[in-house]
Amino acid sequence: MNNRGYFLRLISFCFLIILGLISCAGSNKNTNPNPVIIQKEPEAVGDVQYGISSYYAEKFHGKRTANGEIYDMYGVSGAHKTLPLNSIVKVTNLENNKELIIRINDRGPFIKDRIFDCSYGAAVKLEFISKGTAIVKVEVLEIGNDLYKKE
């Protein structure tokens, strides 16, 4: 009977060890609700990029953009980190399917995980002012000349 008690304790101990190891195992489920999609930067006509767009407004209104133009927050323009200045893109708000043709005249956005900045006027037309950001598709229609405009 003493051997039986020892054997039961040994089995219980092994069971607890196995149970502990199982509870430490990680889940394969992605717990990030906004996964970052790694993709190459667009560089040619037809290239497409997906991600988050925001908009910029009052703080920059009346100041020079990267290509030398004066920023008009009520106009339609955009900022991209790598596309040549004066490139033409079609931006689609994937949350409501609104589309807009935008010329890139500035650099940005400078916030992690964002791929495009719209002028306030563009964000109004794409209907994401109240939310502040939108999930967008940016399609390159024309590669710009990357020239700085002197005014």
pLDDT for 61-111, tens place per residue? 999 999 999 999 999 999 999 999 999 999 999 999 999 999 999 999 999
In angstroms, what CA-CA distances link 136 with 23, 28, 55, 149?
A: 39, 28, 12, 28
Mean pLDDT of the chain: 86
Q: Residues 6 or more apart from 68 whose CB is under 8 A from it?
A: 148, 149, 150, 151
Q: Is 17 a residue whose pLDDT tops 90?
A: no
Closest CA to 82 of 49, 55, 58: 49
Confidence of residue 149 (pLDDT cuts 50, 70, 90): confident
Q: pLDDT digit string (tens) for 99-125?
A: 999 999 999 999 999 999 999 999 999
Cis, peptide link before residue 109, omega less than 30° from 0: yes
Owner of token pair 């009346």: 62
For residue 26, pLDDT beyond 80: no
Percentage of residues of the chain with pLDDT beyond 90:
66
Q: What is the CA radius of gyration of the chain?
A: 26
Identify the three-state secondary structure at position 8: helix
Which pLDDT score, from 0 to 100, does residue 14 have? Answer: 67
Percent with pLDDT over 70 in the chain? 81
Look at residue 57 in the predicted model and tell me its pLDDT.
Answer: 87
Least confident of 21-25, 79-83, 100-104, 145-149: 21-25
Does the domain at 48-142 match CATH 2.40.40.10? Answer given as yes
pLDDT recorded at residue 30: 46
Q: Alpha-carbon torsion 139, 143, 147, 151, what sign? A: negative
Question: What are residue 16's phi and psi, to 5 degrees?
Answer: -65, -40
Q: What is the pLDDT of residues 39-48, one digit of tens each?
A: 667 888 999 9
Q: Domain boundaries in the chain?
A: 48-142
DSSP bridge partners of 119: 56
- Please give the single-letter amino acid code of residue 139: E
